[in-house]
Every structure is written in structure tokens, then in C-alpha cells.
Structure 1
């Protein structure tokens, strides 16, 4: 959530930021109108309360003199009724203002590229070179089914389209990658692991910015008003919801969770197999930092995600997302994409974002600065990294002409020494 004071004092800056996103800049005017209405109502209400207090004091003085105060008592009652009605109106306007504020996205960092959509993203760097083949590389779908490590037909029969089913070495690879990433983040990158719930309430989803904007993209258990998490970002960020953090910053947390998303995409090549699914696994990294450090921390966070891929020897590139492509809550974001020869394209496996104080304001996450003043933290998160696209890239890049798959050496210890998947 944006700071209402910032909107009030720098409305044109906010309008420009919304336009850069392709969002409706008139939302600023609607918010300012409601804010003015709220402030006017509060002023009028305080005036009525002051009048009531003044008259009540006079009643007390007149009673001491034995004077009749019936008319003044009637005034106090009338003012009380008026104040109650005005208080109710204030609550209504405040609810309208909050609803408007919750729908306004974060303002992009002024230093990111300006563009309408993914076409405006900038390639920052590429690591490694796409592997060249002396045979036509196959897709993970064909490879996985022949190796017996994926079973898309049974997954569709037991649940429906868009849900993966891994078998044997495929399942072991998925589990091994999760453990590999957690070990790396915990032992070398300085994160503390947590094991959070896979369901969160509406307040938590609102705190990180998934609600109310993206309700249609998530699975909602209506009877319990709980949401299946689309990312571990939600429970991990909400770890400190409505708290003043009482420990030194920065704080680095990591978690593995299953993730659930309804918006798996339209039918087509990109939605077959393991590329776009409704359920997937992910290791997440979340940081709580002082505002002055957050952009330096974003670079380090992105480096943590890159380290996962470099140790696996996978070719990837880093994109700086433009203003029209960053997520609702982000001020700046890097995407990491792996080269997948069977797709003849790049697959996003990580988004690393700085949210500044946007999530902290929504979730009420604060800290005490060096002077003891309570401030909102800056929050950051990044996929460290997402599965099953990582599995796709490993399978497609490691494929051999005979259909077997050679595994990256870094994952072999997590496979019980298995360095190749064969039929």
C-alpha cells in the first residue's frame, strides 16, 4: 500500500508512476477526493465533540448554581446523535478509501526501463552458453515419458489438466533439488529456514498484495475463507505481520512450499507438460531490511538465485523488468530465465523483487531505527528457485542421443550417487 501522505504531497509523481505501469492514473484523484472527505468529516466531528464537551461543562457549572439545564441537556443529546451519525459516516468513507488504496499498485523505481509489457524488458547479463547438439534435442515431455519419470496421462486422470506427476528418478530429482537449494541458502547464503502453512487467510494474502487484485487467479476455500498459497512469499512475509521486529536487520528467511495457481494459461505448446501448471514446488527467499539498503540487498538476493543455477552449470539470463511488466507489489524486479533446448526458448525460474515499504504498510511490519523511531521495513523476495521448470531445463540440457539424461554434478549427492537417468 502506498503512503497516503506521499499521494497527498506528490500526486503527480504517483500519476506518472501509474501511467508507466499502464495503470489508471485517475485512481489518484479518487483517493484524494475520499481523503479530503474523510479529513473534513473528522474535523467536523471533532468540532461537534468539542461543542458537546463545552456544553457538558457548562451544565455542570449551572447545576452547582441550581439553574435549570434541561435545554442544554437536550442539546447534548442531539449532538451525541449527530456525532454517532458522523462517526459512522467516517467509517464508511475510511472503508471506501482503504478499498481504493488496496487496488493501487506500487510505484515503479524511477531507474527501471519504461515499457508497456515484456517487450520492454532489458537483458542485464547472460551466464553460460546454450548447449549445441549434434542431434535434434527432444522436449522434456518426450524424454520424461520414455524414461518413465513423468506420467501426464495418469495425472490428468486423477486430477485434471495442469497437475504434474513425477515417478521414480523424476520424483527423486525434484526432491533432491529442493534439498540442494535449501542447503545452499541455509549454509552458504545465511538464510533461516521456516516450514510455513500452505493455506493463508485473507489478511495475509492482502498483506503481500495478492488480494484483492488477483483473487480470480487463486484457489479459495470459501467455507473456511482460506487461500491455497500461490507462493511461499505469502506466509513467509506475513511471519512478521502486525509486529514491530525486535531483532537486528537484515533478516533472511527461506522456505520450501507447494504453490497453487489457477491461471495456468491458455492451451498451446507453452502449457503442455511441466511448463505451466496449477501446482508446483518452489524454494523462496524473503528478506526484511532497512530502507537505505534495500536496492543493494536486491542485487545480493538475485545473486543467491543465480548461484543455484551456476552450480548446476545451466545457461541462464537475467532480465530487468520494465514498468509495464513488474508485478503489482514490486518497485523493481529481475527475472532469471533458463535456456531450454527442447522448447527452443527461455523459461522463467525466478523473480527477485524489491517491494520497498509497499507490503510492509499493508501488513503492518515495522522496526525501530537507530534512533528508536518506528519505521516500516522494506521487504524483498525471490524464487530460489522454482520447480518444475528447473527440472525441465536439467532434463532437456542433459539429454543424450540415446534418450538418457546426464545430471549436473552438484545434484548427484542428492540422488544417492545417480549421475544419469536411463530408461
Structure 2
């Protein structure tokens, strides 16, 4: 009996198959998170009201400090007050308040690569060398998806291992994190979880109440530390994690085509907890790590101190690194690092014991050490050859079995079926 006939016979026996209709309920996730401890002394002080309102205005206008004070005047419940307090963004580093909307370029690293031929875009290189599949993936994962093939998949692994090795040498502790998180964790970390601007993939209630796909490992690490009481001797605490990141964002901007903006990608993330007086210095350390990594891979990039307009709710200050993409003839964001001060620790109860035995909130920081899709674009376009091949940077050779060049893949052909959604 051939395979298809045996499979048809198997499906006749319903007791051997899982029937989704038999699943009647999913247990509710019970979160035991600490109560948020907002900086009431600052936020509810009338003398600070104007400064907070101006900060909200510069930070995309999310939050209403007037409503907070109205609730105080009417002796509203703490629950209602907390709902409004959680919307107020972090304070902003005074050094960036006067920046224009595009921020300030702090540094330019490396030299712009030159070619004696017209450099191609990543998508064209990858297609010619059979390195990526993006068409007809509807039956797998829908639009803005991709599959890395052969040597390019190996290059992804090499980048991850190279980055982790560098972080371990800088005393980061590697941690493996889940990709499914309670929505409450994501909210407390500062991501917008509702409305048209949300980037979050919410899971159907049949898979758990209030569960979502994680947008970055930062949130899972922060959740791991919720309610923690850290010893002074353990600070600064540095974590590194490799995870899949899920973003529901879309874009019709031509410059963000291809792998530049996708719904799922691999990322190596840095996360730090520290004493408040260490966070400014540690932000510079995270930035220097990113600069070392990208410089060692011979990528030309610039460092931008971002304006208040480009800060998320949790960030006090944020630096972006934009790498040169020769085929696209543009700088594209490769990574960022942020100082979130006590925004996240107040919402998740992450504290440390001071030298005089007081409990204070830590400062948290995060930074992208390697986001695979955009790194591949910058790397492959920078190191392309006139024949349309891709040269492997010296630092990655040992992780690619000494292979110096990526050429056209010799792989068995892959057949894809066009996906046609059923009209209900």
C-alpha cells in the first residue's frame, strides 16, 4: 500500500488522531508580579507637572499628566491612578533635549567600501546564489517571511556564535529564554500592546489567556528578574540571549523591502542590571561592544544619539548604529542600545541591597549585539565580488570551516506550492 493510501486509512480512525474540538478550555496563567512602584514623589509633584507634560509632548504624546493630577484631586482609587501612571514615559536625558528629529551623529566608523563594478542589492545576490526563499511561503508563514538556504544559513549560525563568544569574553552570562510571554510582562517592559501602533502578536485565547509572542529577549530576561533582590556584589549583572523575535509591524516604504523588515528573525540581545550611578557608563560599554563587533566584520557604520521623538516609553537615552548597505546605497539601522534607568525595575520590582542595607531599584539597559537579517544585508552587500559571490570576513572563517567565498549553492531543487487562502 502506498503512503497516501496508508495515510487516508489512518485518518479513518479518529481515536488515533488529535481532535482540536476536544480541547474545551485552557488554564488561565496566574502571574504573581510585584505591584508597580511608580516614582510618585516626582510624578505627582505639581512643580514637575510642566516638565513632564513637555517630555510627553516630545515623546510622541503618549500619556496624560493632567489626568494623573485630576485623579489625585478627586481621591480616585489607586487602581485608576496606576492605569494612568503606567502610560507616562520615562524621563529624557537632558543632553538630547535640543536634538533635531534625526538625532545627532556621534561617530562614523570604518571607510565606505569602493567597487570597480556596480554593487548589487542583497536580494539579487541571494537569488542568484540560491541562498534565500521568500516567494510562495504562504502555507508556512505568510508575508514578510524568509528561509535561509545552505551557506547563508551557516553564516547566520556563524554570526550568532561569533557574537556570543565576544559577549562571553566581556563577562556576559548566556541565558536561553522563552518566545511566549504574558502580555502583562511585555506591557511593563514598555512596549505598546494595544491600538494600531502595537507590534505585538497576540495568541488566541484558545492557547492561553493574555499570552503573546516575544518581540525581544529583553522582556523575558526582565521577567526572570521580576521581584528579585540582588546583592551589591553581583552588580552589574550582564545577560546575553539568542532568541527568535516576532514583530507584527509592516511597512510600505521601498527602502524597507526584502529582509530589512520581517515578522520573525533571530537576534542576540544584551541585558544589564546595575546601580543607578553605573548606567550612563554601561550604556557607553554596550555601544562600544556593538562598535567592536561591527568594525571587526569590516562594516562601515555611523552612531546616532537619538532624539526624544525616537525614544520608546522605557528609554531615557538610546543610541542607534546604522550600517552602510552599498547595494541599496543607504544607511540602515543595524542595532540600538538603551538606558531605561528605573522604568522597568519599578514596574517589575527589581531591586538591589545598598551598602547601608536599603532596597533600591536597579537601572536596566539593553542592546542589540546582532540582528541577523539586517546584518546579512550589510555584510553580503559590503563583501560581494564582481562575479556576484560573497566573501566571508576573516573573523568568521573558522566558524565557516575555513570557507572563504559563498558561491551558487548546489542543492536539490525545492518545490513550493502556491498558497491560496480559503474564502469562508
Name whichever of 410-419 and 283-292 sits farther off.
410-419
Whole-angstrom CA distance in 2 between matches of 1:390 and 1:166? 13
1:377 is aligned to 362
Preserved CA contact (<8 Å) 2:193 2:200: no
Name whichever of 142-151 and 152-161 sits farther off.
152-161
1:49 is aligned to none
Whole-angstrom CA distance in 2 between matches of 1:259 and 1:24? 25
CA deviations over 1:82-123 (Å, ceiling 9, x no partner): xxxxxxxx6xx2222111112121121111143564x3x111
Indicate yes or no: 2:65 matched with 1:28. yes
SS in 2 for 1:221: coil
Indicate yes or no: 2:85 matched with 1:104. no
SS in 1 for 2:212: strand
Indicate yes or no: 2:397 matched with 1:416. no
1:226 is aligned to 211
Query: Which of 107, 132, 140 matches 1:150?
Result: 132
CA deviations over 1:372-410 (Å, ceiling 9, x no partner): 100000000000021110011111011111011111111
1:241-280 matched pairs, under 5 angstroms: 241-246=226-231, 248-266=234-252, 268-280=253-265
Indicate yes or no: 2:176 matched with 1:159. no
1:213 deviates by 5.5
SS in 2 for 1:314: coil
1:304 deviates by 1.1
Preserved CA contact (<8 Å) 1:195 1:255: yes
Pair 236,408 (structure 1): closer, same or farther in 2 beyond 3 Å = same
Any unmatched runs of 5+ in structure 1? Answer: 39-89
TM-score norm. by structure 1 comes to 0.83
Whole-angstrom CA distance in 2 between matches of 1:327 and 1:351? 12
Pair 414,158 (structure 1): closer, same or farther in 2 beyond 3 Å = same
Name whichever of 282-291 and 28-37 sits farther off.
28-37
1:123 is aligned to 105
SS in 2 for 1:106: coil
Whole-angstrom CA distance in 2 between matches of 1:414 and 1:324? 40
Preserved CA contact (<8 Å) 2:121 2:327: yes
TM-score norm. by structure 2 comes to 0.82
Query: Which of 139, 161, 165 matches 1:183?
Result: 165
Preserved CA contact (<8 Å) 1:202 1:211: no
SS in 1 for 2:242: strand
1:310 is aligned to 295
Whole-angstrom CA distance in 2 between matches of 1:123 and 1:116? 11
Query: Which of 49, 67, 72 matches 1:11?
Result: 49
1:195 is aligned to 176
1:205 is aligned to 186
Any unmatched runs of 5+ in structure 2? Answer: 1-35, 409-424
1:248 deviates by 2.1
Indicate yes or no: 2:310 matched with 1:342. no
SS in 1 for 2:96: coil
Preserved CA contact (<8 Å) 1:22 1:116: no
Pair 13,239 (structure 1): closer, same or farther in 2 beyond 3 Å = same
2:21 is aligned to none
Higher Cα Rg, which structure: 1
Pair 16,269 (structure 1): closer, same or farther in 2 beyond 3 Å = closer
SS in 1 for 2:44: helix
Query: Which of 339, 353, 362 matches 2:338?
Result: 353
Whole-angstrom CA distance in 2 between matches of 1:18 and 1:404? 49
1:149 deviates by 0.7
CA deviations over 1:128-171 (Å, ceiling 9, x no partner): 01101111111000000111111111435532220121000011
Whole-angstrom CA distance in 1 between matches of 2:153 and 2:89? 38
